[in-house]
């Protein structure tokens, strides 16, 4: 076989693979009984990033028709990769498998090798960020996934116990879509609002940004940039700022030392990835709390690159205690021990767990149980940062605050960052899709199957299912 084989040859192989692995290819989902409208989705997927797309593909493999994915962003700009992510390469190991759902020819590696050859793959350290987006675009095209872009879901509301109505904003118009199940795959932002210190929020917006925003750095030349946070995004922002011409980028964080430990890597094994959701509440809470407490620093290449820039400096034990806007529009930041002068602030402070801030959940958030309501940790483990996480069921479904009052919630599955406490700290990232995705998909197909329980029993028991016809029996007996 030539190396590289080229994308066309790979795509041919994929079509063949899909055909070989089509069993069981029988349609089975029964229509929604007493449906108020003819067009009802079996599953609506909110978010067309990698999770949303892989969910749509998985459901197609399970012979679930009438699935649609909605994404607020334009085509090719889903997820963080070419919007607000700034790193050179992914943080995850290049060998991860995820969106392929078990088809080797659909992996990033197959896509890469088909174009650049095996040696190039061996030489690659980690997956270049922009190339990951190229792969996602190809994945969507080759599989013909039903993604509707520029379509922001602004509401999910119950219509009946077995039906939900989505309100979708598209080109300034509102459309309504009925769905029997919903997967909410809204990524990092799906956890809740961006964490912005109050004193920063009162500054004029042109003087600061959160790292999850697209930041126009074209005016950064000669400016002093203050960055708050100790994670990878802080370093990515600092590197980008200096590349854009900033005079300095000073990374400040509260911790006395920078985080150097990353037990998440130890948890990238099939034990944790597959079975974390089965752990008792106390264990799950303790894991997340520990991970939150120790933080997560940048990956080694990011750190090394940042430290090779003279204009980037690190300031541990530097909480921003007092922030004052000066008459010359500079910002004075007092840490208690040092005073900095900045021209622009970037907050690499992540998101807070608070579903109430998510517009698409506003109609149902009042019914959704959170960890704070379901689990009381021992006093020494109390942690307000975790209280707002949704308490998900074992298929990633939202659960009811008051049992019996919101039965439609078991049809809404959450695999955004908000799933991390229930399903595992890596559940919403690439490295756990291999295990978390089948869980969610099983939740959806299980629900659709149970919806048809009476009709399916009736069909099997009361209808004929000929295998040996009268003619065959007579002719064989003769
Ligand atoms: C800077 C950064 C770097 C990261 N690097 C890595 C990494 O190297 N490896 C890794 O495994 N993970 C990484 N992650 C985590 C990463 O976000 C996930 O792995 C991955 O993007 C999750 O995919 P997703 O489909 O769940 O969410 P996303 O890729 O974030 O996609 C969510 C989509 O939902 C859409 N959306 C949100 N709300 C709505 C709505 N109401 N209506 C319609 N559409 C909506 C958004 O437009 C977006 O396209 C990183 C995250 C960030 C922020």
C-alpha to C-alpha distance for 161 and 21, rounded to whole angstroms: 35
Distances (CA, A) of 138 to 94, 132, 142, 143, 185: 18, 10, 6, 8, 20
C-alpha to C-alpha distance for 196 and 64, rounded to whole angstroms: 41
Asked if residues 237 and 349 have their Cβ atoms less than 8 Å apart, the reply is no
Confidence (pLDDT) at 7: 98
Q: At what angle do helices 433-451 and 50-61 cross, to 10 degrees?
A: 50
Distance between Cα 80 and ligand 1 center (Å): 5
Closest CA to 48 of 66, 72, 68, 71: 71
Asked if residues 228 and 370 have their Cβ atoms less than 8 Å apart, the reply is no
Alpha-carbon dihedral sign for residues 380, 386, 387, 392: negative
Nearest ligand 1 atom to the CA of 77 is 49
Runs of H (alpha helix) within 244-402: 263-266, 270-275, 281-294, 300-307, 371-374, 384-387
Distances (CA, A) of 13 to 3, 103, 145, 215, 444: 15, 10, 18, 41, 29
Confidence (pLDDT) at 132: 98
Domains and CATH numbers, the chain: 7-191+353-455 (3.50.50.60), 198-260+297-347 (3.50.50.60)
Tens of pLDDT along the chain (478 residues)? 889 999 999 999 999 999 999 999 999 999 998 888 889 999 999 999 999 999 999 999 999 999 999 999 999 999 999 999 999 999 999 999 999 999 999 999 999 999 999 999 999 999 999 999 999 999 999 999 999 999 999 999 999 999 999 999 998 999 999 999 999 999 999 999 999 999 999 999 999 999 999 999 999 999 999 999 999 999 999 999 999 999 999 999 999 999 999 999 999 999 999 999 999 999 999 999 999 999 999 999 999 999 999 999 999 999 999 999 999 999 999 999 999 999 999 999 999 999 999 999 999 999 999 999 999 999 999 999 999 999 999 999 999 999 999 999 999 999 999 999 999 998 889 999 999 999 999 999 999 999 999 999 999 999 999 988 888 888 877 6
Q: How big is the chain by its Cα radius of gyration, in Å?
A: 25
* pTM of this structure: 0.97
Asked if residues 186 and 212 have their Cβ atoms less than 8 Å apart, the reply is no
In this structure, what token pair is assigned to residue 132? 């990951």
Long-range contacts from 298-301, C-beta under 8 angstroms, 24+ separation: 298/231, 298/232, 298/234, 298/235, 298/236, 299/91, 299/232, 301/88, 301/89, 301/125, 301/126
CA 157 remoteness from chain centre = 22
In this structure, what token pair is assigned to residue 387? 């209280």
Asked if residues 180 and 43 have their Cβ atoms less than 8 Å apart, the reply is yes
Q: Tell me the best of 175, 187, 262 to mutate to test the pocket of ligand 1, counting ligand atoms within 8 Å of each CB and taking the most.
A: 187
Alpha-carbon dihedral sign for residues 258, 261, 265, 267: negative
> Which residues does 438 contact at the CB level (< 8 Å), separation at least 6?
58, 101
Q: Tell me the best of 186, 361, 419, 437 to mutate to test the pocket of ligand 1, counting ligand atoms within 8 Å of each CB and taking the most.
A: 186
Distance between Cα 49 and ligand 1 center (Å): 6
Question: Given 3-state DSSP classes, what are the helix, strand and coil percentages for the chain, each rounded to the nearest 5?
Answer: 40, 20, 40
pLDDT digits (tens, 9 = 90+) for 300-309: 999 999 999 9
C-alpha to C-alpha distance for 359 and 351, rounded to whole angstroms: 15
pLDDT digits (tens, 9 = 90+) for 342-360: 999 999 999 999 999 999 9
C-alpha to C-alpha distance for 45 and 41, rounded to whole angstroms: 10
Nearest ligand 1 atom to the CA of 71 is 44
Nearest ligand 1 atom to the CA of 236 is 1
Q: 370: Cβ below 6 Å to ligand 1?
A: no
Q: 233: Cβ below 6 Å to ligand 1?
A: yes
Asked if residues 55 and 428 have their Cβ atoms less than 8 Å apart, the reply is no
Q: Strand, helix or coil at 277?
A: helix
């Amino acid at each position: 076989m030539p190396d590289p084989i080229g994308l066309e040859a790979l795509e041919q192989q994929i079509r063949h693979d899909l055909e070989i692995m089509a069993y069981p290819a029988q349609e089975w989902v029964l229509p929604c009984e007493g449906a108020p409208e003819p067009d009802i989705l079996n599953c609506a997927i909110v978010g067309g990033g990698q999770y949303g797309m892989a969910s749509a593909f998985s459901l197609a493999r399970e012979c679930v028709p009438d699935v649609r994915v909605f994404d607020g962003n334009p085509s090719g700009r889903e997820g963080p990769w070419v919007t607000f992510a700034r790193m050179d390469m992914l943080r995850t190991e290049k060998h991860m498998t995820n969106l392929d759902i078990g088809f080797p020819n659909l992996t990033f590696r197959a896509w890469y090798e088909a174009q650049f050859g095996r040696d190039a793959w061996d030489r690659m350290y980690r997956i270049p960020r922009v190339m990951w987006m190229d792969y996602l675009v190809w994945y969507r095209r080759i599989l013909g996934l039903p993604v509707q872009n520029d379509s922001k879901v602004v509401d999910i509301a119950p219509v009946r116990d077995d039906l939900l109505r989505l309100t979708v904003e598209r080109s300034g118009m509102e459309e309504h879509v009925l769905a029997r199940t919903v997967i909410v795959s809204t990524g990092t932002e799906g956890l809740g609002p961006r964490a912005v210190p109050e004193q920063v929020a009162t500054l004029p917006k042109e003087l600061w940004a959160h790292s999850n925003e697209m930041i126009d750095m074209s005016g950064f030349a000669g400016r002093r940039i203050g960055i708050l946070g100790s994670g990878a995004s802080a370093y990515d922002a600092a590197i980008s700022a200096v590349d854009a011409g900033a005079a300095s980028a000073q990374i400040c964080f509260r911790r006395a030392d920078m985080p150097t430990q990353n037990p998440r890597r130890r948890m990238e094994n099939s034990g944790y990835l597959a079975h974390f959701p089965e752990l008792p509440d106390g264990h799950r809470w303790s894991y997340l709390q520990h991970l939150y407490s120790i933080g997560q620093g940048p990956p080694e290449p990011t750190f090394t690159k940042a430290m090779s820039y003279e204009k980037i400096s690190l300031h541990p034990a530097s909480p921003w205690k007092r922030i004052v806007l000066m008459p010359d529009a500079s910002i004075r930041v007092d840490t208690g021990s040092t005073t900095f002068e900045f021209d622009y602030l970037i907050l690499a402070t992540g998101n807070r767990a608070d579903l109430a801030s998510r517009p698409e959940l506003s109609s149902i958030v009042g019914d959704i149980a959170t960890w704070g309501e379901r689990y009381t940790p021992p006093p020494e483990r109390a942690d307000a940062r975790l209280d707002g996480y949704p308490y998900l069921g074992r298929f990633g479904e939202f659960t009811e605050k008051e049992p019996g009052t919101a039965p439609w919630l078991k049809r809404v599955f959450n695999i955004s960052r908000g799933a991390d406490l229930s399903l595992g700290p890596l559940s919403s990232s690439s490295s756990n899709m291999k295990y978390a995705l089948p869980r969610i998909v099983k939740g959806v197909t299980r629900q659709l199957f149970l919806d048809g329980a009476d009709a399916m029993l009736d069909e099997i028991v009361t209808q004929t299912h000929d295998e040996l016809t009268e003619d065959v029996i007579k002719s064989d007996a003769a």
